Every structure is written in C-alpha cells, then in structure tokens.
Amino acid sequence: MPIHTRWSEESIPAELRPSWPVLLQEQHGIVSRAQLRAYRHTPSDVRANIDAGRWRIVLPGVIATFTGELSRTAKLHAAVLYGGGRAILSHRTAAEEWNLVPVIEGPIEITVPYTGSAVSQPPMVLVHRSRALDYTAVETRPPRTRTTDTIVDLAVSQRTPREATNTIVDLVSRSRVEVSAMDTCVALQPPFRYRAAILRGLYLVRNGLMSALEVEYQEEVEKEHGLPAGDNQTPFEVDGKTLWEDVTYDSQGARLTVRLDGRATHAMASIAFRDRRRDNAAELAGRARLVYGWHDVRTSPCAVAAEVREVLVREGWDPAGGRESTCPRCRPRE
C-alpha cells in the first residue's frame, strides 16, 4: 500500500491544518502559493510583502517569508514544495539526509510523479520522475525516499555498471541496511538500468566484501594480475576483542594481511588506536602486512599487485599454481 499521504492544503478542512506560525516553523519559513491561498493570503497581500522586501520568490510558486540566505533545511522544503504535493527528496539529497554520504554544495534532488509538471530549476533543484513514487517514500519532514530505494537510485545514476556495483557495495555496507531488504527492494521495483550490476553488488556484500575499495582490490589487483583470491573479513583476536582484517592469504600458504584503508571511520581516534594495536599484534605474530588506500588501488593497481606478489612469494605462496596476468596495462612479463 502507498505510504506517501501528505495532505493537500486546499482540500483539508481549515480546522485540521496547523496554525500559520506552526506551518512557518515546520517549513523553516518557506511556503507555497497554494498554502498562501489556503491560509487566506490574497494575491495583493503576497505581492505587497514581496514588493516591500519582506518576502521573496525562491522558486516558481515558492516563497520565503524572510530575508537573507536560505539555510539548507529551507532549501529542502523549497524544493519539495516546488515539486508539488507528492514530491520527495531523492538520490544524492536523500542519501545526505540518511547520512550515507557527506553533504556537498549542489542542487537539491527531488522525485515527482512521472506525469508531474515540475522541471529542473538550475542551480537549485534537479527533478527526477518515477511511476512508483508512492511506494518508495518515507514520511520524514520533508519526505524522502527509503534508504533502500535511495541506494538503488544512486547506483542507477552512476556513469558505468562498475561504478553502480561499487555504489551498492559502499552504501549498503555504510548504512548497515540488511541485504535481504535490498533484495526485496530490487525485486519489487526492478531498476531498468544496471540491474545486473546492482545484483552483483548485493552478491559481493553478501559474500563478505564490505567496501567498494575491496571490490576494486579483488577485481583490479587479484583477478587482473593472476594473484590468488584472498579471504575477506577474516576475524582476529586482539586484546580480547574480535577484529576483522580486510584480506588475508593464510589459505594460500602465506601469512600475509592486506589492509584496505578506505573507510572514513579510520580517521577516528578510537579506530586509529585499534589499528595500531592490530598492527602490533600482527608484528608479534610474525605476520606480513601491507596497507593500501583508495588512490593506490584505483590509480596504481599494477604496482600494488607487484608488491603483493613479492610478499606472497616471500611468505611461501607458489606462483606456479597461479594464473597468468591479464592486465592490459602491465608490460608482458619476460
């Protein structure tokens, strides 16, 4: 059943509407012309306030009842009011509101019904359309797409299938949303674009790849360069706690740990301390370890693979049982 049931100002009885001050507070001083009519503000009243500089038009049919810069929250309300009664925050903006991605300067992204009349208003609003809008909304203030649908929307908006897969892996891991909930979302509203790439991303998360960086490492370093497949998210006991290493090669006969330092949480003091203890524990156990970041794996996978291969061989892995490198960027091995 649809869950998006936001009321229409002109159809609801006046006694059931919030008071004018409450409405302004809830919408951070932003109102639509429909709301102005519903609250008995005449066109001449509205024009007088605009001409006097007390109010201003921020988008077609949307007015700020204050002067000065619009806050981010005011912009969100303005965009949704501009989109109409069933518009919701979506894509990058919804992801920002769900704390999936950092907030950046850019247009507010909304989704409106497929037959809606709203069009993008650069640089403030970017409009998307959907036939399933009522089934993807959450009644937040202002309303936005569900976490699962937000992740799918961002994946679909990527430039390539590979980037779509990485987006799924990264955001599903970061949001801690259940993979089963993502499976249900994709099954109920199958994306027309990148469906296979999105399903691959869910498969990778289900099988232990916890960040897009790990996907890149597996694809660009291990597979492209004929290295053995490491084990992902291997548990280790450190100071009485179970910690997880990104990639280990013990099953391949080499006591090597590869740590992929690509998560923002690694910058936290507590996480940095934990990683130092983990490093010390690895050293005391006689384990070799290598650490790579996003830039290393994305821009220099050949150099990363060469270092990993060197340590694997040193630690006991037999390259005779490995695969040939298929990387087109590497020079043929002599």
Q: How distant, in Å, are the alpha carbons of 2, 64, 279, 287, 290 from that of 238?
A: 48, 56, 10, 14, 18
Between 85 and 143, whose confidence is greater? 143
Residue-wise pLDDT tens digits, 67-124: 999 999 999 999 999 999 899 999 999 999 999 999 999 999 999 999 999 999 999 9
pLDDT higher than 80, residue 334: no
Same domain, 110 and 175: no
Q: What domain range is 43 assigned to?
A: 14-145
State the pLDDT confidence band at 295, using cuts at 50, 70 and 90: confident
Q: Is a pLDDT exceeding 90 seen at residue 211?
A: no
Mean pLDDT of the chain: 87
- Are both 221 and 202 inside the same structural domain? no
Nearest CA among 135, 6, 155, 139 for reference residue 95? 155
Could you give the CA distance from residue 250 to residue 286 in angstroms, rounded to a whole number? 13
What's the alpha-carbon Rg for the chain, to the nearest Å?
A: 26
Q: Does one domain contain both 162 and 200? A: yes
Which residues does residue 288 pair with via DSSP β-bridges, in sequence order? 256
Q: Identify whether the C-beta of residue 220 lies closer than 8 Å to the C-beta of residue 184.
A: no
* 240 and 296 both lie in a single domain: yes
Q: Give phi and psi for 260, each to the nearest 5.
A: -105, 105
Higher pLDDT, 137 or 294: 137
The answer to whether residue 165 sits within a structural domain is yes
Cis, bond preceding 301 (omega within 30 deg of 0): no
Half-sphere exposure for 103 (CA within 13 Å, toward CB)? 7
Say which residue, 318 or 11, is predicted with more confidence. Answer: 318
Summarize the confidence of residues 42-51 as an average pLDDT: 96
238 domain-assigned? yes
Identify the domain boundary among 145, 178, 194: 145
Res 273 pLDDT > 60 = no
| Mean pLDDT, range 286-311, rounded to an integer | 92
Residue among 100, 61, 101, 82 nearest 142 (CA): 82
Question: 192 to each of 156, 182, 195, how far by Cα in Å?
Answer: 8, 16, 6
| Residue 332 pLDDT grade (very low, low, confident, very high; cuts 50, 70, 90) | low
Which of 128, 145, 162 finishes a domain?
145
Choose one of 177, 206, 235: the last residue of a domain: 206
3-class state of residue 273 by DSSP: helix
Sheet of 256-260: strand order equals 231-238, 241-248, 256-260, 288-292
pLDDT the model gives residue 18: 86
The residue-averaged pLDDT of 213-218 equals 90
pTM for the structure as a whole: 0.76
pLDDT at 274: 62
Q: What is the mean pLDDT of residues 283-305?
A: 88
The confidence band for 12, taking pLDDT boundaries of 50, 70 and 90, is low
151-194: pLDDT as tens digits: 999 999 999 998 999 899 989 987 889 999 999 999 998 998 99
Is residue 202 located within the same domain as residue 272? no
In this structure, the answer to whether residues 124 and 162 fall within a common structural domain is no
pLDDT the model gives residue 81: 96
Count of domains for the chain: 3
